[in-house]
Structure 1
Amino acid sequence: MTAPLPGTFVLAGCSRRKTSTNVPVPALELYDGGIAPQLRHRLSGHHELRQRVYFLSARHGLVTADTPLLPYDQALTISRADELRASVHPQLRRHLDAAGTSARLLVVAEPLYLVLLADLLADKDRPLITWIPDPRGWSPAAAVLDDWNWP
């Protein structure tokens, strides 16, 4: 099997559907909508790739696949996106820069989530971004992951 392409990252919007739990669970296990269930299944047993998966949370901003979270009910609004934008950019930039290579970013999120990425989109050295505006867009997302040699 060919190794996953270096510098490749997945960024998904959070989902309204969440696992019912009273204890914090990793974000990838918490979210039950969008591409999270398929991504969780695809990455089962691939811890190193989970480290390249992030979520844009309407409550928490940028979180990793393994960030422990409790269920919450908060929709992303334009004002909330504006609030989170300033914290998302430096966090995401650190993760992308740490890759040490040109980054490629698969974004699977509704258009409003792009507000959180506006500063990244304005960067001169922005990553190559593939955007899938349908949060349930697993088929096109899977095709990108196949191209990147993700299992």
Structure 2
Amino acid sequence: MAAEQAAGNGLVVVACCKEKRVTSSPVPALDLYEGWVVPLVRDRVAAGSTERNRVLVLSARYGLVTADTPVSTYEQPMTEERASALSWTAPGVLRRHLARFPSTEALLLMEPRYARVLGPVPVARARLITDPMGRHGDIQAVLDSWSWP
């Protein structure tokens, strides 16, 4: 797909991480996480931007949420039991989000356990990167191909 066709058409789903801001009140989900590759994604999407509407966070505590969903600091590992519970709700949230913000491509930045929670992603092309810390260049290349800032 040509870059001009993909512009504004991608979806990023990034997994939560252990490193979080300590907050006294809820903050947007994408602003809570300080580790993994969340800062890289956050640096590419400004608050209120069209691209930010195309970012979802898969949280072990909150499930699949938009970048701007208010969340609070928590400790909740993605255990097999938690992944199983979230696998009942996350695919529906994903389908509803794609109905609102149609995308032909998705970039999934998460470990395999998180990816299993999502199940098959209903887009023409889904790219799963399970080791994103060493693949910043690949992530940037995908976002560049979508003409994200």
Q: Tell me the TM-score range normalised by the shorter chain.
A: 0.7 to 0.9
Residue 128 of structure 2 is matched in structure 1 by 131
Distance in 1, matches of 2:111 and 2:20, equals 17
* Counterpart residue identity of residue 65, structure 1: A
Residue 80 of structure 1 is matched in structure 2 by 82
SS of aligned partner of 1:47: coil
Distance in 1, matches of 2:72 and 2:25, equals 6
For this pair of structures, how many residues does the alignment match? Answer: 144
The share of aligned pairs that are identical, in percent, is 40
Residue 65 of structure 1 is matched in structure 2 by 67
1:83-106 deviations in whole A, cap 9, x for unaligned?
001110111001112234x52110
- Gapped regions of structure 2 (runs ≥ 5): none
Distance in 2, matches of 1:83 and 1:98, equals 24
Instruction: Name segments (4+ residues, structure 1) moved above 3 Å.
Output: none
TM-score for the superposition, normalised by structure 2:
0.88
Residue 147 of structure 1 is matched in structure 2 by 145
Once superposed, what is the RMSD of the aligned Cα atoms? 1.8
- Gapped regions of structure 1 (runs ≥ 5): none
Distance in 2, matches of 1:4 and 1:25, equals 30
Q: Name the CA shift for 1:56/1:45 in 2 (closer, same or farther; >3 Å).
A: closer
Identify the match of residue 29 of structure 2 among 27, 30, 36. 27
Distance in 2, matches of 1:7 and 1:49, equals 9
Q: What displacement does 1:45 show?
A: 5.4
1:12-36 deviations in whole A, cap 9, x for unaligned?
0001000111110001110101111
Distance in 2, matches of 1:52 and 1:36, equals 14
